[in-house]
Structure 1
């Protein structure tokens, strides 16, 4: 209970305070009319086709099975370098897992992944695509597309199915071209500066 003194003290403190008279409803405003400029920008945005800068194609692919070995190298890659890649002797600097992705999702991710590898100076990567053993048709779909896509990327020098401890025929080692920064560092280091 409050005493008379406390109540009087409270009323003195509240002197000059007025009750806010506002309805207990949300203030809903009519949507504003769209200006001609807004309508033109909207029309232009919808009419402008989205440019797909991803060069990876998604048609005419050779179908592979779970046991097929991926094996490709660009001309000029030394035999010893490719052998070392095939045997998994390069450190894996980056990984990409395509499991549970659609072909279109995998297409986007592989393109971004290789771009990121070049940007960050990653030379050796592992892409896990799965074997497709659970597919009723026996086709390793992501593996089949990956085998088509990687040679389409100029930054990929070589790839090979991984060793068993890295996923075997359900994964691939990928060798990536040096980025401009790495090339410059090599030139500087080898020029004696």
Structure 2
């Protein structure tokens, strides 16, 4: 259709719009959707994406995991760890050589701190580490989040022989005993000492 041939609809539209004035620039109305809190699954997916973007030598997984209940025990031992050794760890019979407190840290910060601390403790031949992560019981939006990831991450570290939720004096279900392998230097030292006998 050419400009000289107007349709009846365009005439009607022009007639209806006669008394309409355009909005001034400062009269524009912006529409924002009401603030909604992301679901726990959405938060985990976002975290996984953030962690994937982080480039470091940290081997701890960034995948989405199923959360454990805040009041569940953390309990893990590698094959080959003697039952008596694991029982002593579980009962808090080994002295705690170092402590890592993750309270108030984001998952990114906790992931970094756990990896660095466990690696450092292993190199320095620290055998028992206490990790304080809390239960997350009071935080409804992130219930047991940090505890769940600590549980997941400890199992990925080759120098971790076993771990178990701590006794009440050490933090109870909000803390975990971690038993680490002897460092390579300590193993060599032990071999040399036994060879001299």
Q: Give the TM-score normalised by the residue count of structure 2.
A: 0.70
Query: Corresponding residue for 1:69?
Result: 73
Q: Distance in 2 between matches of 1:83 and 1:137?
A: 34
In the TM superposition, what is the alpha-carbon distance from 1:58 to its structure 2 partner? Answer: 2.2
Unaligned runs of 5+ in 2: 1-52
Residues 183 and 130 of structure 1: is their aligned pair in 2 closer, same or farther, counting only changes over 3 Å? same
Give per-residue Cα distances to partners, 1:27-85, cap 9 Å, x unaligned. Answer: xxxxxxxxxxxxxxxxxxxxxx9741101012221202221100000111000000000
Query: Corresponding residue for 1:95?
Result: 99
Query: Corresponding residue for 2:49?
Result: none
Query: Corresponding residue for 1:85?
Result: 89
SS of the aligned residue for 2:137 comes to: coil
**1:168 aligns with one of 158, 167, 172:** 172
Contact 1:65 1:132 survives alignment (8 Å): no
In the TM superposition, what is the alpha-carbon distance from 1:138 to its structure 2 partner? Answer: 6.6
Bigger radius of gyration among the two: 1
Q: Distance in 2 between matches of 1:188 and 1:146?
A: 36
Query: Corresponding residue for 1:113?
Result: 117
In the TM superposition, what is the alpha-carbon distance from 1:102 to its structure 2 partner? Answer: 0.2
Aligned-residue Cα RMSD (Å) equals 1.6
Q: Distance in 2 between matches of 1:118 and 1:163?
A: 23
Query: Corresponding residue for 2:26?
Result: none
Give per-residue Cα distances to partners, 1:101-147, cap 9 Å, x unaligned. Answer: 00000000000011111111101110000011221247211100011
Query: Corresponding residue for 1:38?
Result: none
SS of the aligned residue for 1:145 comes to: helix
In the TM superposition, what is the alpha-carbon distance from 1:171 to its structure 2 partner? Answer: 0.1
**1:155 aligns with one of 150, 153, 159:** 159
How many residues end up aligned between the 2 structures? 145
